[in-house]
């Protein structure tokens, strides 16, 4: 019977092509526009590492200025990061920050600059970083200040033509680094491990053991905030300062571990208080990935405003569809009467028209995919290279939701017209037409 | 024109009328608030930076080889650029206005650690800054060459003469620029900085910074292996000069690379990319909505006319002129639109309150709502004009014809 | 077969009450051909709609095959219409966007019959009204008489025992009308009970009984001829197509 009803739906479309096309367009525009915003929300507000997001915790210690009232700082000082790194606890952890360096390729190519990330060995396993060749370094490289480097896939293409470059060396700011691994394509959206420096920025091109940033005096990059003047000048004064500039992540498998680590943090801060630091009340936090993204309001205001507007746009399109379906179904009063005379009961008429509305919805959904694709492409063009935009595209989830939403919303829009149509007294429309 | 019969006819099709009225109401809500957001963003984008943006570009010179000497490189580069036709001036800075990256600090009028501090952008510059940027010095004087100091990396602040913006002067002193001149500000609690000049305007590097007009110029440069040059060209020569200068500098000293070459206009476009994108997206939304709603109005009108063809023919047979038929539908449309925009006015204000509360936007100006109402009513009338003219052309003979 | 006693039908709107039928009593036996005549608005169609379970009545009793239909729900009424009753209308009421085959197919669809059986029955039915070769045509491509023959095929395809016809020749010229009439008579001869509403007295006289209605009441029932023919199986019918 479903196919019969689908065929009737198609025939009915042909009978009022203009009206039907208007409906399909209204559904397509409404759903398509909504899906553009849905895609933005669902990726930008999504979970960038669903397998582990509840085990990875961002550490926040309140080392802020005691004379002002503000939220705890988003990042950590060097002193605290090093203390947490050196802590004798079994949990994987990493401090991390950005730098930039000049790469000198062999041969004719001119030197160029790259964005780099300093991190500890656990970074790669904690964040499930995929490797094309080789692997990350181990903890001894951090301790022993080994000059090892992990390249991004793109940089490996640029320097080594994409072949396995493990064991080769790369000149960074004049220092020889040995390639130990090449990361496969890896661009978490949002870039959860460093939302302070652009949550939609591309991943870095090189990774080196974090201590080398200090050891080799690399060009630090990224957000640095100091509430207290440095005590003296030079690098040591900076490192001993209350300036915050590092992100710190720890992997905790369960609630027990989390509690253990929270206790450890609180104890550490209490000790530091004895030394005159941390003059604010004890206020240390562990946020898992999703809590952290939510807290930092990674989702831009713009997408939230657009969500509200898109919902209203969809509403207008559906109101439009209700009106058009009403005209269309009431125009079929005669046919509905005849069908009842020939033995159709109300339930089968209801189903017939639900299928007809669903058919319009399906067409609207298919066209809506085009509208959504067009809208997403438009947004990519508008944003340009402001941020990573590769993800702004239709994926299977969006395609499924688009079609589903289109069918469902058209059927919902059709309920009142269908109810009206099925309530028609058959006898009144059989006499003369 | 009798309103009563029109009302009664509409009442019989009240659901259809309600659907259109609701569409008009929602459309008005979205359109008015979207225009308001667009205007709000345009206002932000239209703020002048105080710079001669059209003729400025910047670049970064980064040393990477042993033996690179930043201080002498700057001197050589300046000589090279000054000898290049098309270049007016250059300055070495720590941050570029509009670029979104720079430093800020708190300053105080008294050296009291607990006193209130005022946040300001901090530009480290040399004596060429005012000429290069094209700033207007409204009081005091520029830095002298002797005042410009070269500091080591991570040198903590030390005393220096400063030039501040008029906005910062007004934020700090009741007497504004006049009182500020010659006065002393305290930086990092107790480092005194004497104000030797005030410029009319210079924006901080971050478009979203709350105190965007507060800026402070300090005559020093930090020697950290990289320097940022802001270059001013003869009018209309930015693009050619960007290429020429990049090549000149790269060739003159192979111990460094030249990167991030970018014009200030491009920088502005990038900084306001989200705002301009938002404005364009909203414009598309407005066009789509007005189109959809017009289609709805047309659809309802055509449906109503087709249902009443006989009746219209009869009216014509009874002596109604074409104009009277058209007027009937226009009045009907006016009533529906009236209901729609009245409801729309309430929704518009409601949605605006949501925007104000959720996103900290300023409240909508009063005239937006009535203008929006008027515009939507006009759109409705335009949309219904076609179908009602069609209705007027229904021949009176239809009344006597059996269908 | 059909037994109406004191059936009344009142239409109510906000302001007025219209009595469409008053104390309407009529018995129709299996195999009868009854015509119903009366002036415009007398209640002929109301009677037919009630008889065909398209409308409910306000008072009285109506037994169809001994079953009181007032207690039936929509689903059961639809089932009865589908299986026991066939309808023919003045304006044919073919569905404009379905071809002839699909039009005739409609009642069988609602019976949930298998596709092969439906195809066989529809083809046979179209063949018997002489329009099998045009089964892919749309109704608009046919003449009025041809359309009405399709409508009759559609009414009969489900093998109803009861055929209700509302002015079936009203939109046809007299020659074509005669053909349709002959077709109906053959259907009746093969055992199907027919009630036909008409305003054409000459047609009304061709039936065994003629019911005259005036202002919602039965004015007279004329016994015209005793031409009852024993019922024969419907599948044996040979319907000529000379209309």
Q: Taking residues A347-376, what's their average pLDDT?
A: 95
Q: List, in order, residues 6 or more apart from A220 with CB less than 8 Å away.
A: A97, A98, A99, A213, A245
Q: Do A386 and B351 lie within an 8 Å CB cutoff?
A: no
Tell me which residue in B19, B26, B189 faces A323 most closely, judged by beta carbons.
B19
Tell me which residue in B23, B270, B278 faces A319 most closely, judged by beta carbons.
B23
Q: What is the pLDDT of residues B321-373, one digit of tens each?
A: 888 889 988 999 999 999 999 999 999 999 999 999 988 888 899 999 999 99
Tokens of A207: 């990774």
C-alpha to C-alpha distance for A123 and C190, rounded to whole angstroms: 90
Q: What is the pLDDT of residues A6-27, one digit of tens each?
A: 998 898 888 888 889 989 999 9
Task: Enumerate neighbours of B (3 or more CB pairs within 8 A).
Answer: A
Which of residues 132 through 171 in chain C touch A, CB cutoff 8 A? 154, 158, 166
Concatenate the DSSP letters of all residues of B303-335 into one string: HHHHHTHHHHHHHHHTT--HHHHHHHHHHHHHH
Residue A75 in 3-state DSSP? coil
Chain C: give the shortest CA distance to residue A432, in Å. 6
Instruction: Evaluate whether residue A104 is within a structural domain.
Output: yes
Does B27 reach chain A within 8 Å, measured CB to CB?
A: yes
C-alpha to C-alpha distance for B150 and B125, rounded to whole angstroms: 10
Q: What is the pLDDT of residue C235?
A: 39
- pLDDT beyond 50 at B44: yes
Alpha helices in C85-171 (DSSP H): 100-111, 115-128, 144-156
Q: Same structural domain for residues A290 and A309?
A: no
Do A and B count as touching (3 or more CB pairs closer than 8 A)?
yes
Give A381's strand partners: none
Does C55 reach chain A within 8 Å, measured CB to CB?
A: yes
- Give B400's pLDDT tier (boundaries 50, 70, 90): low
Q: What is the pLDDT of residue A179?
A: 97
Q: What is the pLDDT of residue C228?
A: 45
Q: What is the pLDDT of residue B156?
A: 60
Q: What is the pLDDT of residue B321?
A: 85
* Residues A218 and A212: beta-carbon distance below 8 Å: yes
Q: Same structural domain for residues A291 and A386?
A: no
Instruction: Evaluate whether residue A226 is within a structural domain.
Output: yes
Q: Taking residues A293-302, what's their average pLDDT?
A: 87
* Residues A219 and A100: beta-carbon distance below 8 Å: yes
Give the residue from A263, A295, A327 where a domain finishes. A295
Q: Is the previous residue joined to A190 through a cis bond, with omega within 30 degrees of 0?
A: yes
DSSP letter for B58, please. Answer: E
Give the residue from A278, A295, A312 where a domain finishes. A295
Instruction: Evaluate whether residue A36 is within a structural domain.
Output: yes
Domain range annotation of chain C: 31-38+73-236
Q: Same structural domain for residues A196 and A96?
A: yes
Q: What is the pLDDT of residue A332?
A: 84
Q: Same structural domain for residues A263 and A307?
A: no
Instruction: Evaluate whether residue A373 is within a structural domain.
Output: yes
Q: What is the pLDDT of residue A43?
A: 87
Q: Which residues of A touch C75 (CB under 8 A)?
A: 345-347
Q: Taking residues A301-307, what's their average pLDDT?
A: 89
Q: Taking residues A91-100, what's their average pLDDT?
A: 96
- Give B396's pLDDT tier (boundaries 50, 70, 90): confident
Instruction: Evaluate whether residue A51 is within a structural domain.
Output: no
Q: Taking residues A160-187, what's their average pLDDT?
A: 94
Q: Give the largest Cα separation in chain B, rounded.
A: 104
Domain that holds residue A282: 56-295
Q: What is the pLDDT of residue C231?
A: 40
Chain B: give the shortest CA distance to residue A375, in Å. 9
Task: Enumerate neighbours of A (3 or more CB pairs within 8 A).
Answer: B, C
Do B and C count as touching (3 or more CB pairs closer than 8 A)?
no
Do C and A count as touching (3 or more CB pairs closer than 8 A)?
yes
Q: Do C78 and A427 lie within an 8 Å CB cutoff?
A: no
- pLDDT beyond 90 at A401: yes
Backbone angles phi, psi at A321, to 5 degrees: -65, -40
Q: Do B292 and A173 lie within an 8 Å CB cutoff?
A: no
Chain C: give the shortest CA distance to residue A4, in Å. 9
C-alpha to C-alpha distance for C138 and C96, rounded to whole angstroms: 7
- Give A330's pLDDT tier (boundaries 50, 70, 90): confident
- Give A322's pLDDT tier (boundaries 50, 70, 90): very high
Q: Give the largest Cα separation in chain C, rounded.
A: 53
Q: Same structural domain for residues A261 and A396?
A: no
Does C52 reach chain A within 8 Å, measured CB to CB?
A: yes
C-alpha to C-alpha distance for A15 and A348, rounded to whole angstroms: 21
Does C82 reach chain A within 8 Å, measured CB to CB?
A: yes
- pLDDT beyond 80 at B154: no
Instruction: Evaluate whether residue A50 is within a structural domain.
Output: no
Q: In angstroms, how far is CA A228 from the centroid of its own chain?
A: 35
- pLDDT beyond 90 at A392: no
Topology (CATH level 3) of domain C31-38+73-236:
Rossmann fold (3.40.50)
Mutation choice for C interface testing from A342, A349, A431 by most C CBs within 10 A: A342
Q: Same structural domain for residues A375 and A390?
A: yes
Tell me which residue in B20, B64, B224 faces A323 most closely, judged by beta carbons.
B20
Give the residue from A295, A322, A347 where a domain finishes. A295
Question: What's the structural domain count of chain A?
Answer: 2
Tell me which residue in B19, B250, B358 faces A319 most closely, judged by beta carbons.
B19
Q: Do B27 and A219 lie within an 8 Å CB cutoff?
A: no
Q: Same structural domain for residues A22 and A136?
A: no
The mean pLDDT of chain B is 90
Instruction: Evaluate whether residue A423 is within a structural domain.
Output: yes
Q: What is the pLDDT of residue B304?
A: 80
CA torsion through residues B171, B176, B180, B181, sign: positive
- pLDDT beyond 50 at A134: yes
Q: Which residues of B touch A198 (CB under 8 A)?
A: none
Q: Same structural domain for residues A171 and A92?
A: yes
pTM beyond 0.95: the answer is no
Domain range annotation of chain B: 3-46+273-400, 69-254
Q: What is the mean pLDDT of each run of 10 residues along chain C (243 residues)?
A: 90 78 91 90 87 89 91 88 90 87 91 90 92 92 91 92 90 87 91 90 86 89 63 41 39
* Residues B205 and B96: beta-carbon distance below 8 Å: yes
Q: List, in order, residues 6 or more apart from A54 with CB less than 8 Å away.
A: A288, A289, A290
Q: Do A343 and C81 lie within an 8 Å CB cutoff?
A: yes
Chain A: give the shortest CA distance to residue C87, in Å. 7
């Amino acid at each position: 019977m479903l196919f019969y009803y689908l065929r009737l739906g198609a025939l009915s479309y042909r009978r009022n092509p203009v009206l039907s096309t208007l409906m399909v367009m209204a559904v397509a525009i409404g759903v398509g526009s909504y899906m553009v915003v849905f895609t933005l929300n669902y990726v930008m507000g999504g979970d960038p590492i669903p397998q582990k997001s509840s085990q990875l915790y961002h550490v926040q210690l309140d080392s802020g200025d005691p004379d002002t009232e503000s939220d705890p700082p988003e990042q950590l000082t060097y002193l605290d990061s090093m203390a947490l790194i050196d802590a004798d606890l079994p949990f994987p952890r990493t401090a991390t920050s950005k730098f930039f360096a000049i790469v000198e390729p062999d041969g004719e190519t001119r030197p160029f600059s790259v964005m780099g990330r300093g991190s500890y060995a656990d970074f790669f396993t904690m964040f499930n970083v995929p490797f094309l060749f080789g692997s990350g370094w181990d903890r001894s490289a951090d301790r022993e200040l080994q000059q090892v480097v992990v390249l991004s896939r793109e940089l490996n293409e640029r320097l080594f033509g994409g072949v396995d470059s493990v064991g080769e060396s790369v000149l960074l700011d004049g220092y020889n680094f040995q390639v130990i691994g090449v990361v496969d394509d890896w661009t978490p959206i949002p870039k959860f491990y460093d939302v302070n420096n652009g949550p939609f920025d591309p991943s870095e091109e090189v990774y080196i053991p974090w201590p080398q940033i200090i050891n080799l005096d690399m060009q630090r990059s990224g957000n640095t905030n100091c509430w207290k003047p440095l005590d003296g000048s030079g690098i040591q004064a900076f490192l001993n300062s209350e300036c915050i500039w590092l992100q710190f992540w720890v992997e905790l498998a369960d609630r027990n571990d989390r509690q253990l680590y929270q206790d450890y943090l609180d104890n550490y801060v209490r000790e530091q208080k004895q030394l005159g630091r941390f003059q604010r009340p004890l206020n240390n936090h562990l946020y898992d990935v999703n809590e952290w993204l939510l807290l930092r309001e990674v989702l831009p205001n713009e997408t939230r405003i657009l969500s509200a507007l898109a919902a209203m746009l969809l509403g207008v399109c559906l109101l439009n569809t209700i009106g058009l379906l009403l005209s269309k179904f009431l125009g079929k009063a005669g046919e509905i009467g005849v069908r009842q005379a020939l033995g159709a009961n109300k339930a089968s008429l209801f189903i017939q028209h639900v299928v007809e509305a669903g058919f319009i919805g399906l067409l609207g959904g298919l066209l809506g995919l085009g509208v959504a694709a067009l809208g997403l492409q438009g947004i990519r063009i508008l944003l340009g290279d402001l941020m990573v935009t590769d993800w702004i595209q239709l994926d299977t989830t969006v395609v499924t939701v688009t079609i589903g939403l289109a069918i469902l919303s058209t059927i919902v829009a059709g309920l009142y017209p269908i109810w009206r149509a099925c309530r028609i007294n058959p006898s009144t429309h059989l006499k003369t037409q | 024109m009798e309103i009563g019969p029109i009302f009664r006819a509409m009442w019989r099709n009240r659901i259809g009328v309600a659907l259109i009225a609701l569409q008009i109401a929602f459309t008005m809500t979205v359109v008015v608030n979207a225009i308001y957001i667009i205007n709000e963003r345009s206002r932000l984008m239209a703020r002048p930076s105080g710079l001669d943006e059209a003729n400025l570009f910047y670049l970064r010179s980064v040393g990477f080889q042993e033996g690179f000497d930043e201080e002498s490189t700057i001197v050589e580069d300046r000589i090279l650029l000054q000898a290049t036709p098309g270049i007016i001036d250059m300055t070495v800075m720590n941050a570029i206005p509009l670029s979104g990256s720079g430093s800020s600090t708190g300053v105080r009028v008294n050296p009291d650690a607990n006193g209130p501090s005022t946040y300001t952008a901090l530009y480290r510059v040399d004596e060429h800054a005012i000429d290069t940027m094209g700033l207007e010095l409204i009081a005091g004087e520029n830095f002298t060459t002797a005042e410009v100091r070269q500091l080591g990396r991570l040198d903590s602040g030390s005393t220096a003469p400063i030039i501040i913006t008029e906005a910062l002067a007004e934020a700090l002193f009741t007497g504004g620029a006049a009182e500020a001149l010659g006065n002393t500000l305290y930086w990092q609690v107790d480092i005194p900085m004497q104000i030797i000049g005030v410029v009319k305007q210079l924006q901080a590097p971050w478009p979203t910074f709350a105190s965007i007009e507060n800026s402070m110029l300090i005559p020093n440069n930090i020697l950290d292996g990289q320097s940022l040059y802001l270059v001013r060209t003869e009018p209309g020569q930015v693009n050619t000069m960007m290429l020429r200068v990049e090549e000149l500098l790269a060739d003159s000293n192979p111990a460094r690379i030249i990167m991030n070459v970018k014009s200030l206009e491009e920088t502005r476009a990038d900084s306001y990319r989200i705002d301009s994108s938002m404005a364009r997206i909203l414009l598309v939304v407005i066009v789509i909505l007005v189109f959809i709603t017009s289609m709805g109005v047309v659809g309802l009108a055509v449906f109503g006319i087709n249902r009443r063809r006989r009746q219209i023919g009869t009216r014509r047979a009874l002596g109604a002129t074409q104009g009277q038929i058209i007027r009937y539908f226009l009045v009907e449309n006016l009533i529906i639109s009236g209901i729609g925009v009245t409801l729309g006015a309430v929704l518009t204000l409601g949605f605006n309150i949501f925007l104000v509360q959720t996103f900290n936007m300023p409240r909508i100006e009063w005239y937006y709502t009535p203008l929006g109402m008027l515009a939507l009513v006009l759109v409705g009338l335009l949309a219904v004009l076609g179908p009602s003219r069609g209705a007027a052309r229904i021949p009176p003979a239809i009344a006597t014809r059996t269908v | 077969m059909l037994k109406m006693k004191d059936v009344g039908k009142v239409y109510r709107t906000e302001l007025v009450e219209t009595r469409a039928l008053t104390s309407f009593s009529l018995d129709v036996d299996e195999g009868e051909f009854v015509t119903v005549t009366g002036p415009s608005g007398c209640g002929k169609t109301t009677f037919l709609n009630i008889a065909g379970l398209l409308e409910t009545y306000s008072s009285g009793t109506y037994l169809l095959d001994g079953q009181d239909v007032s207690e039936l729900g929509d689903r059961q009424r639809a089932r009865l219409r589908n299986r026991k009753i066939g309808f023919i209308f003045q304006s044919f009421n073919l569905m404009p966007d379905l071809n002839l085959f699909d039009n005739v197919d409609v009642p069988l669809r609602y019976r949930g019959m298998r596709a092969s059986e439906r195809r066989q029955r529809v083809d046979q039915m179209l063949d018997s009204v002489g329009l099998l070769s045009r089964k892919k045509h749309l109704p608009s491509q046919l003449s009025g008489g041809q359309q009405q023959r399709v409508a009759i095929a559609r009414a009969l395809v489900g093998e109803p025992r009861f055929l209700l016809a509302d002015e079936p020749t009203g939109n046809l010229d007299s020659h074509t009308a005669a053909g349709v009439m002959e077709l109906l008579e053959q259907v009746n001869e093969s055992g199907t009970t027919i009630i036909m509403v008409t305003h054409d007295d000459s047609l009304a006289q061709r039936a065994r009984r003629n019911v005259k209605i005036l202002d919602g009441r039965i004015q007279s029932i004329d016994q015209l001829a005793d031409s009852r023919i024993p019922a024969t199986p419907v599948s044996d019918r040979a319907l000529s197509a000379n209309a």
